């Protein structure tokens, strides 16, 4: 599945509700899913982890839809030509650095 | 860009560092990026919003790499056959409900 295809799938599925909630209301749901992901990373099965990652991605896509951001374009622009820090495809930034 | 291709790009770029940090250390970076995304959604330009979405996706992909989760498979399994709540491709769950 392409990232653009996934964002479009989520747009078709939820855009009407997303627009009604707006960015703030939608962000709260993302935070709830982030919390569930954290718990599952500690205690969950492989299946539960996969489901929580999917939910976080879905809420992120839904916020991007409301905010008018194209996720595929965004990641290509920032990471498609190498690490934003060092420009390499295998990062050579100092280990103490952010990436 | 496919979701699998993006996850692989991030794997090649950062896996050595990601494994050294582990899930907990990597999750803290995701949280920092989530905070930056929240701030940018309120006050940022379109370009800044796109960059913050890209960073959140990159950290999510990096945690998925450490946790052994295939993001493309995860979203297909959960959302590829319709809304997990109602099973429809345009969600018909009650508006008060989670999705």
**Predicted complex ipTM:** 0.94
pLDDT of the residue at B87: 95
Q: Which tops the pLDDT comparison, A84 or B96?
A: A84
Dihedral sign computed on CA atoms, order A78, A57, A5, A18: negative
pLDDT < 50: residue spans in chain A: none
Interfacial A residues in 37-96 facing B (CB < 8 Å) = 38, 41, 46, 49-51, 53-58, 60, 63-64, 67-80, 82-83, 88-91, 95
Residue B18 CA to residue A6 CA, distance in Å, equals 25
Mean pLDDT of B57-64: 96
| The pLDDT value given to residue A65 | 96
Mean pLDDT in residue range B45-70: 97
Q: Looking at the partner chain, which of B9, B71, B91 has a beta carbon nearest the beta carbon of A13?
A: B91
Q: What is the pLDDT of residue A98?
A: 61
CB of B91 closer than 8 Å to CB of B85: yes
- The residue of A53, A68, A92 whose CB has the most chain B CBs within 10 angstroms, and thus the best one to mutate to test that interface, is A53
Find the angle CA(A30)-CA(B85)-CA(A54) to the nearest 5 degrees: 45
pLDDT at A27: 94
pLDDT range class, residue B30, cuts 50, 70, 90:
very high
Q: Residue A2 phi/psi, 5° resolution?
A: -80, 155
At A48 the pLDDT is 98
- Is a pLDDT exceeding 60 seen at residue B78? yes
User: What integer is the mean pLDDT of B70-78?
Assistant: 97
Give the span between the Cα atoms of B51 and A27, in whole angstroms.
17
Share of chain B above pLDDT 90, in %: 85
Mean pLDDT of B79-99: 87
Predicted pLDDT at B99: 57
CB pairs under 8 A between A and B: 156
pLDDT of residue B26: 92
User: Whole-prediction pTM value?
Assistant: 0.94
């Amino acid at each position: 599945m392409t990232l653009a295809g996934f964002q479009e799938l989520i747009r078709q599925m939820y855009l009407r509700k997303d627009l009604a909630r707006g960015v703030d209301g939608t962000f709260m749901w993302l935070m709830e899913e982030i919390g569930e992901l954290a718990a599952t990373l500690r205690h969950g099965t492989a299946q539960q982890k996969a489901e929580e990652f999917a939910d976080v991605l879905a809420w992120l896509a839904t916020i991007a839809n409301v905010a008018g951001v194209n996720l595929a374009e965004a990641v290509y622009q920032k990471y498609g030509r190498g690490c934003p820090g060092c420009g390499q495809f295998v990062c050579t930034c100092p280990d103490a650095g952010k990436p």
